[in-house]
Structure 1
Amino acid sequence: MVRPRDNRADGTGSPVRSNAAARHTEDTSVGPARHLGAAPRTPVWLKATTLIISVLLVGVVAFGAYWFIRLQGNITKQALGAGNSRTEDAVDEAKDRMQILILGSDTRDGKNSQYGSAAESTGYGHSDVMMLMDISADNKRVSVVSFPRDLLVDIPKCVDQKTKREFPAQKNVMINAAMSEAGIGCAVDTVNKITGLEVDHFMMADFNSVKELSNTVGGVDVCVSDAIYDPDSGLRLPKGTSKVQGEQALSFVRTRHAFGDGSDLGRIKAQQGFLSSLVRKIKDDGTFSNPGRMLGIADAITKNLTIDDGLASVPTLLTVGNRLKDIDVSKVAFVAAPTEPAVSDQNRLQLAEPAASQLFAAMRKDIDLTDPAAKPDASASASASAEPSASQSPAAPAYNKALQPVTVANGSGDPARAKELVAALTAGGFTQTGQLTAKAVAKTAVYYGADFADVAADVAALLGIPASQVLPAAGVSGVQVYVGRDYAGATQQPDAPATLPPDIVNQTAGDTVCQQANPALITR
C-alpha cells in the first residue's frame, strides 16, 4: 500500500487524515486528534453531588477517627492479675461466658481531691465498691454479685506487675485492701480465690465517673422509704422517688449510714437499686440505638475508667456493650455475697456458710440465679448429647448427702485447709460437716465407719482424693477426711447438685425498690 505523500516540503502542511477519520466528516481540515479527543461535558449537578458525597465521607471518617482516638485516649490500663496462676484461656468477648470485676476506687487525687487528701487512699487506693458481673454465653442473663468492703478474707500472695515487688499473702483482712498495695490484679486474684472462678476482665471507676454518667443520662430515679439526711455523705432526699445526678448521685451510692441499719449491707442494696434504675433508663430511652447518646455515655465512662489490657480497646468495649443491649431486665440479677458478723471482729463481716459456698458453686455451674430450676437451653442440650447412655451413667447415691456425718481433721499444717474442705463439702451437698484438731501428717486419707463405704468414696471423689487413700476405720463414726501436707486442694464434681440459699437475689433490674431509710437519719 502506497501512503500519500506529505505536501509539506517545509513541514507546514496539514496532517494526513486517515480514512477512518475522513468517514466522519466532509471537512477535510478537521484533524483526527481534535475530533476523536472531544469528551462530553460533566453536568453541573453531578459535580455538585460528587463533591457533597466526598465531603460527607471525609466528615464521617474524620468524626469516627476523632471519637475513636478520643475514647481510646481516655482509657487507663493495668494488668489483669498479680502473678497468680490461671488455668483458663482468654475468652472471646463476642460469644463466651464472661466475668468482669467492677470496682469503685476511693482514690482522692486529681479530680477526686475534693473528697479528701491523697493520704486517705494509700497505694493504689481501696476498692470502695466491688461487684462481680457474670454475663451468660447466650446473652440472656446477667448476675451481679456485690462484696461488702468490710468483708474479711484471705488475700493471696501478689506481685505488683509494674514494680515487680512481691507482697506476702494476708489472712483475715478486709477485702477492699486487696488492691491497695499490688494493684487491681490482686483484687482480681482475691475474688478468684474466694469464688473458684477465673475473672476475665475488670473495670475500675472513680468517684467522678458516677457524677458524669448520671449527668450524661439526665439523672437516675431512686426511691427511699422516708425523708433522710446523712451529714457524712451530704445526701438529703425527700420521701418517695427523686431524680439524682451529679454530686447527689455520688452521695447516694457512697453513703454508708443512710440505709438499712447503717451498715455496708444497706449501702450495697442502695447501689444495686441505683444500677437497676440506671439500666431501665438506658433501655427505656433507646440509648443503645442512639449513636449520639452512646458516644456521650462512652466518653463519660472511659474518662474515668481503668481496665485490663485485654479489654482496653474501643472495639472490644463496644462488643461487650452490644451484648447487653437486648437482655431482659428481669434477668439482670443483683445479689449480695452471704455474710455474717465476723468471729474475730463483730464490726466486720465474714462469708456465711454454707450459703456462700452454695452461691459460688451455682455460679461455677452457670446456674440462672433468678430461676435455679430452669432447664438448659437448646444449645446446652445439644452440647450434652454426647453424655453416656443410661446404662453407662453412675447410679444416683442411695443416701441423702445432707444427713451424712463428715468431719475434717486438719493435719496439713495450714489452718485455712479445714475451712476450704468444709466449703467444698458443703457445696457438694454434704452439709453435716464438722472440724477436729489433728496432728500433722504427711499423707491425706479418708476414713470411714461401718456402712459408710459408699459415702466415703463420694467424699473422696468430690475432694479429688485417690480411691487408694480411702480406708475403713473401726473408730470412726461416719466419714473422716484426715488431710495431710500432700493435699493439693479441693475440686468440685462437675455433676454435684447446686443448692442455692433462699432469697439469694436481692432484686432484678426490672424491680423498682424503695430503700429502707436508717431510722437514725430520718428527718421530719
Structure 2
Amino acid sequence: MGRRRADSAAAKAAGTPRRETPENQEPAGRHFRGRRKSPMWLKIVAVTLSGALVLGLGTAGVLVMKLQNNVTTAPLNAAVSNGNKTKAPEEPNDSMQVLILGTDTRAGANGEYGTEADSAGEGQSDVMLLMNISADNSQVSITSFPRDLMVPIPDCVSSVTGKVVYGSRSGQLNAALGAGPGCTVAAINDLTGLTIDHFMLADFTAVKELSTALGGVEVCVDHAMYDVNGSFLRLPAGNSLVQGEQALAFLRTRHSFGDASDLDRIKAQQYFLGSMARKVTSEGTLTNLPKLYNLADVVTKNLTIDEGLANIPAMIGVANRLAKINLANVSFVTVPYEAYSGDNNRVQLKEPEAGQFFAALRSDTALTKSAAAAAEASKGAATPGATAATTSGTPAEVAPPVAAYNKAIQPITVQNATAIAGRSVELLASLSTAGFNASRSSGDVAAQNETKVLYGTDMADVAADVAALFKLPPTALQADPTVTGVKLLVGTDWTSGVQFGTVTVPQDIVASTADQTGGCLKVNPIYYTY
C-alpha cells in the first residue's frame, strides 16, 4: 500500500490518538440461572405506562408532588464504562426515552406469588418496554423487548451492594436487572444507540392496585378459557372487565393466547396497554381530580424511578410532553427478532431490520401513517405515509476542499456490518469515482447499529474527506490507532444508497396503535372451557 507524505501540517495537528478501552470484556465467572419451569412474562407493564399517561394528561402539579413523595430512586445508568452518558436536563426539544420495566421479584409484598427463591432481590425484568416520545411531542412508540433476547450485558455497579457485577458478551437481557435497573438501561443504550432519559420499575402489587383504581380494564377473548397451569386466569368468551387479581392473572399468564409463543404473549401485553390507555383518556377520568390523585398515589408508591425523574421540574416536563398526544400516534412495536443461533429456545435481534428500526428511533422518524403524513405536510410535501425519511442534522452539501495528499494511494477499507450481502460494492465504486483508487473491501462482519469512519495515525484529514463524500455526520468520525489508514464500517443505519441520511422503516413494524380495539385475543385451544 502507498505511503502518505510525512510532513503534512494537518497530520501533525491530528497527533497520535490514545488507544480506547476494549469494548468486549470477558465475563468473570458470572452465570445466569436457567429458565424457571414457569417464568412470568406478562407482568406489571401497564401500570407504569398508564402512570406516565396519567401524569401527562392530568393535573401535573398535584400528581408530581405525590410522585416525588412516594417513589424509591436508583441510578439511571449503572454501567462501569463511562461510554454511556445521559442527556443534559436542558434539552427539552429533543426526543425522550423512558424505559418501563416490570420485575418478577417475590420480595416484600410480592411474597404471596412465590418465595424469594423464585426471584429474589431486584428479580428479572420479564417485561421491558421502551417508550419514545418524539421531539415535537406528536407521537409515542412503545417497543417491547423479549425477556430471553440474547445481547451483550455490560459490567455494572450494583445499585444495592455498590460492587461491580460482571456482564457477558451474550446473556439474556432480562438478567441485567440483577445489578439494578440502571444496568438494563445501559444494555439497551448499547443495543439501540439511544441515550435513555428515565426509567420506571414496578412490581406485581402495582397491577392489582392500579387496575382496581381505574375501575377495571376491558379485554376480549374469542373463547371461554381457564389457565390451569400458571396464572389461573378464567374468562368467558367475549368482553370482560378485569381488575385486581384478575388483571394481574391476565398479565401473568404465559401460554393462554395464540400458539403460546413469545410473539403472542407480547401481543397480549400490547393489547392490555392499548385498552388501558383508552380507559385512562375516556370516561372523564382525566378531568376527575380526586380520581387522578388516587391513581397517582397508587402508581407512585409501587415504583422505583431514576434520580433525575424524582423532582418536580423533570416530572412536569414529562407531563407536558404527553399532554396532547393523539392515541392514533401511540404505536406498539416488537423489536425485530429471530431464533438465537446458540439456542432455539432463546432469541436474537433480526438484522438488518432491528438496526433499521433503531436508526428510525434515533432519527425521530414517524412510524405511524398519520404521524408521517403530518410530518410531510409540515414540510410542504404532498406524499403522506412515506416509509423512509431523511435524518436531521446531516452535513450540508458542500464540496470538500482539494486534498493535500494523493487520493489514489490512500489505504481505505470498507467493512460491511449491515447484514446485507454485497453492500460494499456500490460504496467502493463511489470511492473509486472520487479518486480513492486503493480502496478495498474487508468483508462482512456481524451486524452493527451505527456507521463509523475509523482512522489511524496521521489519517484524520483523509477520514474527514471520506465522511464528507458520503455525507456522514461528524459524530461518525472516530480515531482508532489499531486501524491502518481509514476503515468505513457500514452499519444497519445505512443499508442502501451512497449518501447517508435516509432511514428505512421496516415494513409492518407497527403492530397496533392505542386507538385500535384490536378485536378479541385468540385463546390457546388447550385452555378452552365449555
The answer to whether TM tops 0.5 is yes
Q: Deviations over 1:189-208 (max 9, x none)?
A: 00001111010000001011
Preserved CA contact (<8 Å) 1:220 1:243? yes
1:495, distance to aligned residue in structure 2 (A): 4.0
Distance in 1, matches of 2:194 and 2:253, equals 30
Distance in 2, matches of 1:138 and 1:451, equals 36
Distance in 1, matches of 2:332 and 2:172, equals 22
1:225 corresponding residue in structure 2: 222
Q: Does 1:75 align with 2:71?
A: yes
Out of 118, 132, 135, which is 1:137 matched to? 135
Amino acid across the alignment from 2:432: A
Distance in 2, matches of 1:305 and 1:193, equals 25
1:185 corresponding residue in structure 2: 182
1:507 corresponding residue in structure 2: 512
How do residues 150-229 of structure 1 correspond to structure 2 at under 5 angstroms? Answer: 150-180=148-178, 182-229=179-226
Preserved CA contact (<8 Å) 1:101 1:199? yes
Q: Does 1:516 align with 2:522?
A: yes
Out of 351, 368, 371, which is 2:366 matched to? 368
Which structure has the greater CA radius of gyration?
1
User: SS of the counterpart of 1:502?
Assistant: coil
Distance in 2, matches of 1:104 and 1:308, equals 15
User: SS of the counterpart of 1:503?
Assistant: coil
User: SS of the counterpart of 1:257?
Assistant: coil
Distance in 2, matches of 1:505 and 1:448, equals 31
1:233, distance to aligned residue in structure 2 (A): 0.8
User: SS of the counterpart of 1:119?
Assistant: coil
User: SS of the counterpart of 2:209?
Assistant: helix
1:286, distance to aligned residue in structure 2 (A): 2.8
Out of 432, 438, 450, which is 1:453 matched to? 432
Give the TM-score, by structure 2 length: 0.68
Relative to structure 1, the CA distance from residue 387 to residue 70 in structure 2 (aligned partners, 3 Å threshold; closer, same or farther) is: closer
User: SS of the counterpart of 1:310?
Assistant: coil
Amino acid across the alignment from 1:207: F
1:397 corresponding residue in structure 2: none
User: SS of the counterpart of 2:308?
Assistant: helix
Give the TM-score, by structure 1 length: 0.69
Moved more, 188-197 or 79-88: 79-88
1:453, distance to aligned residue in structure 2 (A): 2.8
User: SS of the counterpart of 2:521?
Assistant: coil
Preserved CA contact (<8 Å) 1:105 1:129? yes
User: SS of the counterpart of 2:97?
Assistant: strand
2:268 corresponding residue in structure 1: 270
Amino acid across the alignment from 2:153: I
1:334 corresponding residue in structure 2: 332
Relative to structure 1, the CA distance from residue 140 to residue 450 in structure 2 (aligned partners, 3 Å threshold; closer, same or farther) is: closer
User: SS of the counterpart of 1:498?
Assistant: strand
1:314, distance to aligned residue in structure 2 (A): 4.8
Q: Does 1:285 align with 2:287?
A: no
Distance in 2, matches of 1:113 and 1:124, equals 13
1:164, distance to aligned residue in structure 2 (A): 2.8
Relative to structure 1, the CA distance from residue 387 to residue 135 in structure 2 (aligned partners, 3 Å threshold; closer, same or farther) is: closer
Preserved CA contact (<8 Å) 1:82 1:185? yes
1:360, distance to aligned residue in structure 2 (A): 0.6
1:107 corresponding residue in structure 2: 105
Distance in 2, matches of 1:305 and 1:192, equals 21
User: SS of the counterpart of 2:247?
Assistant: helix
Relative to structure 1, the CA distance from residue 322 to residue 300 in structure 2 (aligned partners, 3 Å threshold; closer, same or farther) is: farther
Amino acid across the alignment from 1:340: E
Amino acid across the alignment from 1:453: S
CA RMSD of aligned residues (A): 3.8
Distance in 1, matches of 2:422 and 2:528, equals 44
2:477 corresponding residue in structure 1: none
Distance in 2, matches of 1:132 and 1:203, equals 10
Relative to structure 1, the CA distance from residue 356 to residue 123 in structure 2 (aligned partners, 3 Å threshold; closer, same or farther) is: same
Q: Deviations over 1:98-150 (max 9, x none)?
A: 10000001111111111110121134210021000001122211000000101
Structure 2: 5+ residue runs without aligned partners? 1-59, 381-390, 402-412, 443-449, 465-479
Distance in 1, matches of 2:236 and 2:66, equals 39
Q: Deviations over 1:413-440 (max 9, x none)?
A: xxxxxxxx62xx35xxxx22599xxxxx
Preserved CA contact (<8 Å) 2:151 2:171? yes
Amino acid across the alignment from 1:347: N
Preserved CA contact (<8 Å) 1:94 1:323? no
Out of 310, 313, 318, which is 1:312 matched to? 310
Identity of aligned residues (%): 45
2:503 corresponding residue in structure 1: 498
Preserved CA contact (<8 Å) 1:407 1:434? no
Preserved CA contact (<8 Å) 1:99 1:135? yes
1:250 corresponding residue in structure 2: 248
Amino acid across the alignment from 1:517: V
Relative to structure 1, the CA distance from residue 137 to residue 239 in structure 2 (aligned partners, 3 Å threshold; closer, same or farther) is: same
Distance in 2, matches of 1:358 and 1:66, equals 40
Preserved CA contact (<8 Å) 2:255 2:261? yes
1:316, distance to aligned residue in structure 2 (A): 3.3
How do residues 421-500 of structure 1 correspond to structure 2 at under 5 angstroms? Answer: 422=417, 425=418, 431-432=420-421, 453=432, 462-466=451-455, 468=462, 485-486=482-483, 495-500=500-505
Relative to structure 1, the CA distance from residue 75 to residue 380 in structure 2 (aligned partners, 3 Å threshold; closer, same or farther) is: farther
Distance in 2, matches of 1:244 and 1:506, equals 23
Preserved CA contact (<8 Å) 1:94 1:320? no
Distance in 1, matches of 2:295 and 2:215, equals 11
1:348 corresponding residue in structure 2: 346
How do residues 48-87 of structure 1 correspond to structure 2 at under 5 angstroms? Answer: 71-83=67-79, 84=81, 85-87=83-85
Distance in 1, matches of 2:393 and 2:353, equals 33
1:71, distance to aligned residue in structure 2 (A): 4.0
How do residues 337-416 of structure 1 correspond to structure 2 at under 5 angstroms? Answer: 337-371=335-369, 374=373, 376=375, 408=415
Preserved CA contact (<8 Å) 2:102 2:126? yes
Distance in 2, matches of 1:298 and 1:357, equals 36
How do residues 15-30 of structure 1 correspond to structure 2 at under 5 angstroms? Answer: none
Preserved CA contact (<8 Å) 1:153 1:173? yes
Preserved CA contact (<8 Å) 2:328 2:515? yes
Distance in 2, matches of 1:104 and 1:488, equals 40
1:268, distance to aligned residue in structure 2 (A): 1.1
2:31 corresponding residue in structure 1: none
Relative to structure 1, the CA distance from residue 449 to residue 361 in structure 2 (aligned partners, 3 Å threshold; closer, same or farther) is: closer
Relative to structure 1, the CA distance from residue 259 to residue 370 in structure 2 (aligned partners, 3 Å threshold; closer, same or farther) is: same
Q: Deviations over 1:50-89 (max 9, x none)?
A: xxxxxxxxxxxxxx99987754332100000113333453
Aligned residues: 408
Amino acid across the alignment from 2:151: V
User: SS of the counterpart of 2:117?
Assistant: helix
Relative to structure 1, the CA distance from residue 433 to residue 261 in structure 2 (aligned partners, 3 Å threshold; closer, same or farther) is: farther
Distance in 1, matches of 2:227 and 2:421, equals 44
